[in-house]
Structure 1
Amino acid sequence: MLVHLHVKNLALIEESEVEFGPGLNILTGETGAGKSILLGSIQLILGGKTSRSMIRENASYALIELLFQVENTKARESLAALDIYPEDGQVLMSRKIMDGRSINKINGETSTVSQMKAAAACLLDIHGQHEHQSLLYGDRQLAILDVYGKEQILPAREKVRKAYQEYRNCVDQLKALDMDEEQRNREKAFLEFEINEIEEAALIPGEDETLEDRYRKLSNARRIMETAQMVRVMTGYEQGAADMTGNALKEFSRIADYDKDLAPLQEALVEIDSLLSDFCRDLSSYMDSLTFDEETFFETEKRLDLINSLKAKYGQTIHEILSYQKEQQEKLEKLQRIPASHRQIIIHTFCHKDLVKIDNSVVEGCRTC
């Protein structure tokens, strides 16, 4: 409900405030007193056009403010859909008109003219001698008529809506399939190329990690061998750690019987000697098995290059590449089925179009009853 109107510097009005109460409110006055200007100010909030001539002479701006008390639940829901929420149950709408521009606000927040117009439509309607605000909008005229018809029109209208939706879906599918033969062949050729390229690679999930480990080992074989040889000398039995530990154990054994507190130290030294012996043996076995096969290195590098080139095109992992291949295969199969699908969709489209015409004629008949 409109509870307050404030107008300032608009046409002949210097400043005026009007309080509205529940029920019928009547504005009276002599001709030229400003009744039409007050009603016209409300039109401006509804999105009416503004001009410099509306501003009172010698004033820099004109201001219109409308205060609404929102108690209707439906109005609250409509405002909420516009992201407008009453403060203490009230909505304040204002429009400040200046030379060449205007500032619109709803509850103190700047808004566009279209937002003001939409919000006002939830709160206010104007009936005049020659106009009805709602009837000015074509999209609401049929809605008003349908609400008037109620049970007689709404079921038939819902049937039309569903049939039209199906018809639009068919039209959209036809547009998606509406490509010439040359374009379809190009698309099929491209899909076949991608699918074949991935198939020929014969990818195995996880093989890239295995190949990377092998490549890293082969590419660093010389450094591995040199470092392993140096460590074997340092830990071996030819003046290495194992040789020195063995000598230390031999010397320590000669004094161990003199003091029982030396027994734990002797056991630790025996453990160290045993660990060094195992380490030297395992290191020697590893070095004996380490070989550099140039052909294996070349094949590994070539395979990795192929996998990495596929990753650059189709996915970051082998799993993603295989998933991409599956998606492209489905697209190709869909393209190959297009001629049959095309005919079927055309049939459905015309069927639904006829249903829309038949059902719509029923609705039109109800509206003219």
Structure 2
Amino acid sequence: MPDRDAARRATVVTVVVVAVLVAAQTAVTAAVTSGTQPAMAVESVPSDPASSQWSDAPERTVSLSKQQMAPPFGGGSTDELTVQTVHNDTHTAFRLTWADPTNDADIGAPNNYSDAAAVMLRTGDKPPITMGAAGKPVDIWYWRASWQSPDASKSGDMYAYPHPEEETQPGQAAGNPLSTPPTERLAQNYYAKGYGSLTHAPRQNVRASAERTDDGWSVVFVREHGTEGKFDADLTKGKNVYLAFAVWNGSADEVNGQKSLTLQFTKLDTGKWAMSDASSGSSSSSGSGQSAESGGSGGQSEGVWMTHSVSNWVIGLVVTTLLTWTVVYWRARE
């Protein structure tokens, strides 16, 4: 029976394909998501993304998702990000690398948005992924491509002529640090206690540098281990530091809350100097109900991440199964 033979052959091939896909997915998840990546010790921490020292640093790939936890919802144009960490006795550097086909650094016209990247950090107990919470503030390091543009001093200067700057650029005229590009450090240090609470840190102690690669960006953030900033992450030896990451694609109209971000934490253990997945851990509890609520928020966000990841994987597996069986069946009948 040709039809029966074709169906049998299609079933056998499909089972083999599905088994290979499941095995590959398991291996990749274990190696990339759940594994441990050392933070490489170096004599001098490189601030240049193109430094040859980065070629030897272990990589950790993290998944990025659309921001759907607080308005304005949006983003999601970037799927993943590669993180590398190096350190010496006094400084730590993170290099973030991701694919972005467009170089969005010129924001000198209406509806132009800059590419950008950020690292969110907290030392000690794990904060909610929603930019911290009351009692669990987070430290945020932020870089924007427009600050490194040759026309950075003109960025945002859309209506400068013939009007005076105090009318067209009131933030800069008033000395607002959020309106002044950090032309030397190319990064800004912020604190947050939840969505809508972002504030400019009094101590600006983070440096950044970026390189436009063939297919995207490489951005390096560098800071001393110990600082006197009130909510600065403590990177001295023997600490647990929780890290989350975000990127903005300007050409996709991503700005403010519209971004691609990690929905689970990476933990940097500065005792072992290694990075690992922190999603299986739990926030340390104190006696306050507020802390318990914060921990619950973090767990809920991680549950959302897991739900989305598993759903996408199952859908992809079902589609692959149906396509494989159909193609093999009809070819076997020919």
User: How does the TM-score come out when normalised to structure 1?
Assistant: 0.21
TM-score when normalising by structure 2 = 0.23
Structure with more strand by fraction = 2
Larger of the two Rg values belongs to structure: 1
Determine which structure has greater relative contact order: mean sequence separation of CA pairs < 8 Å that are 6+ residues apart, divided by chain length: 2
Which protein is richer in helix relative to its size? 1
